[in-house]
Amino acid sequence: MGRMFGTDGVRGVANVDITAETALDLAIAAAHVLGEQGEFRGHRPKAVVGRDPRASGEFLSAATVAGLASAGVDVHDAGVLPTPAIAYLTAHTGADLGVMISASHNPMPDNGIKFFSRGGHKLPDAVEDAIETRLREERERPTGARVGRIRTYDDGGRDYVEHLIAALPHSLEGLHVVVDAAHGAASVVGPQVFEAAGARVTVIGAEPDGLNINDGHGSTHLEPLQEAVLAHRADLGVALDGDADRCLAIDASGQVVDGDQIMAVLALDLKERGVLAHDTLVATVMSNLGMIQAMDREGVSVLQTGVGDRYVLEAMRKGGFSLGGEQSGHVIMLDHGTTGDGVLTGLVLAARVAATGKPLADLAAVMTHLPQTMINVDGVDKHAVDTHAVVQAAVLQAQTTLAGIGRVLLRKSGTEPLVRVMVEADTAERAHEVAEQLASVVRRELAL
């Protein structure tokens, strides 16, 4: 069996892959592993637990809370709140552990469990591995007054909103913002915080019923937000995903503003305010070359990492950088949070519009997207892609052809027997032509 923990906690179909027993066992094992590592020394351990509004989150959070309390951990049950809120509240309350029950932007039948260590940081891989090996282990159980106590954390949402408002560089007074909460975890606090920041807010996708999370709304379904921004003649729209750790935007004309454009706008905002650490933005190799070229023109260095927010976060913490993220809209602002926060991203983006008096479309125009072609070549030996002489020679030839006007990226899929060929160029025709040439070489040379 493969590793239970993926790059973003444990995830799968609720009540099939992720059962009540799984949640209970993981919670107990986590408490014991952290306890043995000395995390609880000298005090009663405390945890903060939250969830998104999925129906299955009700029984999975109940099982998680029960597991923690049975292992002697006092629990603050924060109910339905965004993932970044639980990370923040773990730090804010001085808790030893945070647990979020969510499958983010996945469809409703899925769910997941994500752990945060003290301070609201993701657990290191070694600790996750230790938890996995200790599942269902027989151990002594606390009795009497030593069992954990469970309290409802009613002020969690208020504390999180206050934290976001404190991070805001400029009032949103005078702006009309449409917020699409994806019928997800930010359905209450998302609109609340935009209103508290001074904006006039129109809300869509904020009627969670346990079954409709991400269904036709949010950052994976932008059409309703585009329609609402145009219908209400709003200044901009903000689309969150199910657990509100990512955000995409819509400008006043209904055009999508993606994660690369958002990062470009925020990088210049932070640089202007003198808080862009080392004048550097951290992004993945999938970010559009147009964004990197724009940052170069504006005096901002771009450090590129492998694909995945965990690699962005690692590079940020290691280098002391303050801003990073992905094209998907997962943006991390380390001065204000330990993880991607879609509500914060949308707020700071809107604040930039308010502070400059410029429409979002004008701000986003700092970068021009280079046309991109992606071809998935399946049925090939993906592991040979980095070392095969003929393939690498073809890559070198393509890079020479595109020198100064584009770039080439070959990536093996993490889950399927295929290689992704991505080409950016000055024209869509050239990108398509070079991608097709490379894909044919990969198909021919690496066929299984």
Measure Cα distances from 395 to 132, 208, 373, 404 in Å: 40, 48, 15, 15
Tokens of 333: 């602002």
Distance of alpha carbon 176 from alpha carbon 31, whole angstroms: 45
- Residues annotated as catalytic are 104
Distance of alpha carbon 223 from alpha carbon 358, whole angstroms: 24
Distance of alpha carbon 17 from alpha carbon 15, whole angstroms: 6
* DSSP H or E run through 236: strand 236-240
Distance of alpha carbon 12 from alpha carbon 22, whole angstroms: 11
| Residue position matching structure tokens 């993606």 | 258
154 is in an annotated binding site: no
φ, ψ for residue 179 (rounded to 5)? -110, 125
> C-alpha angle 424/368/403, rounded to 5°?
40
Distance of alpha carbon 245 from alpha carbon 345, whole angstroms: 9
52 is in an annotated binding site: no
Tokens of 52: 């998104």
Distance of alpha carbon 74 from alpha carbon 34, whole angstroms: 14
Q: Are 180 and 215 in contact (CB under 8 A)?
A: no
The span from the first CA to the last CA of the chain, in angstroms, equals 25
Find, among 230, 228, 250, 232, the residue nearest to 240 by Cα. Answer: 250
**Total residues found in the chain within this entry:** 448
φ, ψ for residue 406 (rounded to 5)? 180, -170
104 is in an annotated binding site: yes
Distance of alpha carbon 381 from alpha carbon 426, whole angstroms: 30
Distance of alpha carbon 324 from alpha carbon 262, whole angstroms: 11
**3-state secondary structure (DSSP) of residue 307:** coil
Known binding residues:
104, 241, 243, 245
Known binding residues for Mg(2+):
104, 241, 243, 245
